[in-house]
Structure 1
Amino acid sequence: MSDTSLSDGQMIMPFYLLVDVSSSMSGDVGELTTAINDMVQAILKDPVVDDLVMLSIITFNHTASTIVPLSPPSDITVPALHASGGTSYGAAFNEYNRVFEADRARLKGQGMRVYRPCVFFLTDGAPGDSDHLTTFRSLFAFDPETRKGNRAFPYFVPFGFRGAPKDVMRSLAYPDFGKTKGRWFSSGSDKVGEILRAMTEVIGRTALSSGQSAAAGAPQIIPPAPTPGMDAQFGEAGGDWM
């Protein structure tokens, strides 16, 4: 689907995938690339969702870069990923914020209605930047009582595995208010390939079900749930883990 096929006033549900490609991922980027490609193909099984959902992929290590601009799944080609460098969460947060603001302005300029963005954050390590939470809050925080802050705050879902601390993942799940709270996932499994496939399956299912809700005329983010047998703990923002 090209931009010229979008109809005026159409709802677009944007999904952003923030992927850790620091040096600790050097042995896993092949499986990660395959898992992301499989996720895109799964979404494409529903052509109606392809008209309503857009995806973007941002990679990060000590810096961050948008490698797949926000596009319909049918227009996406996932490039081969390469791992190097350190792990800056803040670089990923800043890059997402930059591109989302540009994407939102572009889509609104085309007459589209842009739903709240959903961000999935995949990492296998602890943040190398000690001020990552300050960066996160300065960019995304919103106070529902005073209505101050980022009114377009993302629905943020961190997936941590291998060396990513569970408490850090819990701290990034957002929002921590309202009826649809952010969720976090954490796995200590040494079967990284299986975890990556399970995580991208969760992401694909969330994009599909959320897009289908828009097609039914009642758009909403469907909270992600673990796949059967997924070796991971998960929980809601501000709540207990399961």
Structure 2
Amino acid sequence: MADNRGNLIPMYVVADESGSMTPVLGELNSGLASLHRALMAEPMAAAKIRFSVLGFSNGIEVRMSLADLREEDELPVLSSYGGGTSYRAVFDDLLTRIPQDVRELKRAGYTVYRPAVFFLSDGQPNSNEDWVSVHRKLTDRRSLPESPNIAAFGIGAADAATILNVATDRNYAFVQIPGADIGAAITKFCAALTTSIVASGMSLAAGSAELVVDRPEGFRMAIDVV
């Protein structure tokens, strides 16, 4: 068995790339670039994170997988080619991907803490798909020890009840305040994501392994929407 090389949290940014996201992907890509710069300035936090970026519409696009951001010159660019909003594709992919990633990191000699998923969507899931049953498998810690914490963020036409069902804790579910500019909401989401990831990495570096999820400015708790 390999010696313990340290502690890690696998983190996944899962971003909607459906056609409706096209006007705001510039803000999202700029925000991810800012996140990268922030983590480069916090090497102790960055050392505790392995970072993946997944885009989705009717399927999954792997933009980055298990990256040590200290070794990356830049983050990938998200882009939209149209299509729907397949939540099922997301959770099917994560149901396979996350256990494989955890096994890979353990084989490399790391102690792996519970993965974290940051999910962003601007619309309702495809109506002809059953995503709930797959999501239930992904989040069942009795049958899937690597089951992730999921923080969900809804913008635009996203439904608060749906976003609340995606998140694994009601304190991890947020929706854009009605009337707010979607581009500005994306920018605020990226700022809160940066704070959350840096703080979570620093927490693990200090030995406490706490997932920190900040409410973005311009968002409200999904549980509060009636």
Same-fold call, TM cutoff 0.5 = yes
* 8 Å contact from structure 1 (residues 162, 189) kept in 2: no
Partner of 1:137: 136
Please give the secondary structure, in 1, of the residue aligned with 2:221: strand
Partner of 1:79: 76
Please give the secondary structure, in 2, of the residue aligned with 1:151: coil
1:24 aligns with 2:14: no
Q: d(CA) in 2 for partners of 1:151 and 1:241?
A: 30
Partner of 1:196: 186
Partner of 1:213: 203
Give the deviation of 1:69 after TM superposition. Answer: 0.8
Alignment partner of 2:157 out of 158, 163, 166: 163
Give the deviation of 1:160 after TM superposition. Answer: 0.3
Q: d(CA) in 1 for partners of 2:159 and 2:83?
A: 19
Please give the secondary structure, in 1, of the residue aligned with 2:124: coil
Distance change >3 Å, CA 226–CA 7, structure 1 → 2: farther
Q: d(CA) in 1 for partners of 2:98 and 2:4?
A: 20
Please give the secondary structure, in 1, of the residue aligned with 2:54: strand
Per-residue CA deviations over 1:191-222 (Å, capped at 9, x if unaligned) read 11211111111111111111111111222212
Q: d(CA) in 2 for partners of 1:225 and 1:207?
A: 10
Partner of 1:3: none
Q: d(CA) in 2 for partners of 1:35 and 1:15?
A: 16
Give the deviation of 1:117 after TM superposition. Answer: 0.5
Give the deviation of 1:29 after TM superposition. Answer: 1.3
In the alignment, structure 1 segments of 5+ residues that lack a partner are 1-5, 143-147
Partner of 1:183: 172
Distance change >3 Å, CA 112–CA 94, structure 1 → 2: same
Please give the secondary structure, in 2, of the residue aligned with 1:131: coil
Distance change >3 Å, CA 164–CA 57, structure 1 → 2: same
Give the deviation of 1:7 after TM superposition. Answer: 7.2
TM-score by length of 2: 0.90
Per-residue CA deviations over 1:82-116 (Å, capped at 9, x if unaligned) read 21111100101122232222211111101101110
Partner of 2:214: 225
Please give the secondary structure, in 1, of the residue aligned with 2:175: strand
Alignment RMSD: 1.9
Give the deviation of 1:161 after TM superposition. Answer: 0.4
* 8 Å contact from structure 1 (residues 116, 154) kept in 2: yes
Q: Which has the higher contact order (CA 8 A, sep 6+)?
A: 2
In the alignment, structure 2 segments of 5+ residues that lack a partner are none
Q: d(CA) in 2 for partners of 1:189 and 1:12?
A: 39
